[in-house]
Amino acid sequence: MSPDGNRLAIARRIGTTTSVTVHERVGLKPLITFDSGNNGVVSELRWLDDQRLLVGATRTSTRDGYAIVDPVMLIATLDGSPPTVLPGDFWRAIPDDHDHILVYDCSSEGKSKDGCEQQILRNTIKKPGKGELLIQGPPGATIYVNPDATTGFALKIDKEDETGRTFVYHPKDKTWSLINDAAVTKLEVQPIGVSRDGSTGFLQSQRKEGPDMIERYDFATGERKPLYADPSSNPLRSVYSMDGLEILGAYYESTSPQLRLWLPDHPDAQVRIDLQAAFPGKYVSIASASKDRNILVLYISSDRDPGAWYLFDRKALKASIITRESPWLDPSKQATMKPFTLKARDGLVLHGLLTIPPGSSGKNLPLVVLPHGGPYWIRDVWGHDPEVQILGQHGYAVLQVNFRGSGGYGWQFIEKGMREWGRAMQDDVTDATRWAIAEGIADPGRICIFGSSYGGYAALMGPIREPGLYKCVAAFAAPTNLETSFKWGSIRSTNLGKKYLNRALGTDKVELAARSPAKHAAEIGVPVLLAHGYRDARVDVRHAHEMKSQLSKRKQKVEYIEYSNTGHGLMLDRHRKDFYARLLRFLDTHIGQRRTTAN
pLDDT of res. 207? 94
Average pLDDT, the chain: 90
Q: Write the pLDDT tens digit of every residue in 345-400.
A: 999 999 999 999 999 989 999 999 999 999 999 999 999 999 999 999 999 999 99
Most confident region among 39-53, 113-127, 134-148 by mean pLDDT: 134-148
Using a CB cutoff of 8 Å and minimum separation of 24, what contacts does 61-64 make?
A: 63/565, 64/565, 64/571, 64/572
Task: Report the distance separating Cα 565 and Cα 562, nearest Å.
Answer: 9
Whether 587 has a pLDDT exceeding 90, the answer reads yes
Three-state SS at 562: strand
Residue 42 pLDDT grade (very low, low, confident, very high; cuts 50, 70, 90): confident
Whether 540 has a pLDDT exceeding 80, the answer reads yes
Whether 64 has a pLDDT exceeding 70, the answer reads no
Mean pLDDT value of segment 212-229: 95
pLDDT of res. 69? 61
- 256, with CB counted inside 10 A (0-12, 13-18, 19+), is middle
Name the more confident of 219 and 62: 219
* Domain residue extents for the chain: 1-86, 96-228, 230-328, 335-591
End-to-end Cα, the chain, rounded Å: 58
Task: Give the Å distances, CA to CA, from 305 to 6, 236, 279, 296, 398.
Answer: 28, 19, 13, 20, 17
Q: Write the pLDDT tens digit of every residue in 315-347.
A: 998 999 999 999 999 999 999 999 999 999 999
Task: Give the Å distances, CA to CA, from 136 to 94, 115, 460.
Answer: 18, 13, 49
Residue 65 pLDDT grade (very low, low, confident, very high; cuts 50, 70, 90): low
Of 497, 578, 579, 505, the residue nearest 538 (C-alpha): 497
Residue 70 pLDDT grade (very low, low, confident, very high; cuts 50, 70, 90): low
DSSP string, 397-439: EEEEE--TT-SSS-HHHHHTTTT-TTTHHHHHHHHHHHHHHHT
Residue 91 pLDDT grade (very low, low, confident, very high; cuts 50, 70, 90): confident
Mean pLDDT value of segment 244-269: 89
Mean pLDDT value of segment 31-44: 80
Q: According to the CATH classification, is domain 335-591 in 3.40.50.1820?
A: yes
Mean pLDDT value of segment 433-446: 97
Task: Report the distance separating Cα 385 and Cα 580, nearest Å.
Answer: 14
Q: What is the DSSP letter of 211?
A: S
Residue 500 pLDDT grade (very low, low, confident, very high; cuts 50, 70, 90): confident
Q: For the chain, how long is the longest CA-to-CA vector?
A: 78
Name the more confident of 231 and 18: 231
Indicate the class that CATH gives domain 96-228. mainly beta
Residue 23 pLDDT grade (very low, low, confident, very high; cuts 50, 70, 90): very high
Residues pairing with 55 in the sheet: 45, 74
Element (H, E) at 153: strand 152-157
Q: Write the pLDDT tens digit of every residue in 221-240.
A: 999 999 999 999 999 999 99
Task: Report the distance separating Cα 467 and Cα 478, nearest Å.
Answer: 20
